[in-house]
Amino acid sequence: MFQIFYPTIYQPLYNILIFLYNNLAFHDFGIAIIIITLILKVILMPLSKKQIESQKKLQELQPKIKEIQNKNKGNKEKQSQELMKFYKENKTNPFGGCLPMIIQLIFLIAIYRVFFSISSNNLNVQNEVLYPFVANPGQINNMFIGLVNLAKPSIVLAILAAAAQFYQTKMLMAKQKLTAPSKDGKSPDFSQIMNKQMLYLGPALTLFIGIKFPAGLALYWLVSTLFVIGQQMYLEGNFPFIKKKLIL
């Protein structure tokens, strides 16, 4: 697996990051991270757009899904058949958001490996990883705008990344009543409980990662999440001026 991961994802990202650091980021590693994050998000935009639309559509269909589940709760086989039929009629896939998430996770792991490799090498770039046309800058300047040491954890960046994650998740769930009871009035809706838990578990995990790993990873996660927030706002029509300009 690593034989495929290294030349197709890890090494290209490593070289792009160093190239940006040398030529566009004014030898500021944080600026290089921001630029490569934006490049990755633009490349992955079709996938993340599909993920957002899939999640939004599933949320809109949730009342009907719950109705089918309640109607056939005594017959799991029929329940599955009815749900599959319902998904097909509405041209949606309950697992439609999984592939984009997996791909983005792969890139997150690759970015982490790049940061970890450079940090563990005393911020020196490994010559054997570089392509011939990418100059070796020697030791990386690990300070972001002269304030944040990207080689060490940053509580501030971790908190900002977690807050952005919370806001993004809340945007996706804005149209749902997270605490509505089930139809029998006796117990809360299980899917809504799970959604409410994810509202807090996702940011909590982001915060934990942010305070445990080098700040470069938290910066990547923060910029990535802010990009997705902007994308969601655009898809929901909250940027009419931008949309009009793009159409023109």
Q: How far is CA 65 from the centre of its chain?
A: 26
Pairing between β-strand 143-144 and β-strand 148-149 as defined by DSSP bridges: antiparallel
Task: Reply yes or no on whether the pLDDT at 178 is more than 80.
Answer: no
Ranges 78-92, 151-165, 193-207: which has the least confidence: 193-207
Q: Looking at residue 64, what is its pLDDT?
A: 82
Q: Looking at residue 119, what is its pLDDT?
A: 81
Model confidence over 110-154: pLDDT tens digits?
A: 888 888 888 888 889 999 999 999 999 989 998 898 889 888 889
Q: Looking at residue 11, what is its pLDDT?
A: 93
Ranges 23-27, 151-155, 172-176, 224-228: which has the least confidence: 172-176
Average pLDDT on 172-187 reads 52
Domain ranges (residues) in the chain? 2-247
Q: Tell me how far apart the alpha carbons of residues 86 and 23 are, in angstroms, rounded to a whole number.
A: 53
- Average pLDDT value over all residues in the chain: 80
pLDDT band at 241 (very low <50, low <70, confident <90, very high): very low
Model confidence over 62-91: pLDDT tens digits?
A: 788 788 878 887 777 877 888 888 878 887
Q: Tell me how far apart the alpha carbons of residues 179 and 59 are, in angstroms, rounded to a whole number.
A: 14
Burial pattern 69-93, b for ≥16 Cβ within 10 A else e, equals: beebeeeeeebeebbeeebeeeeee
Higher pLDDT, 23 or 53: 23
Nearest to 20, CA basis, from 107, 148, 135, 139:
135
Q: Looking at residue 62, what is its pLDDT?
A: 76
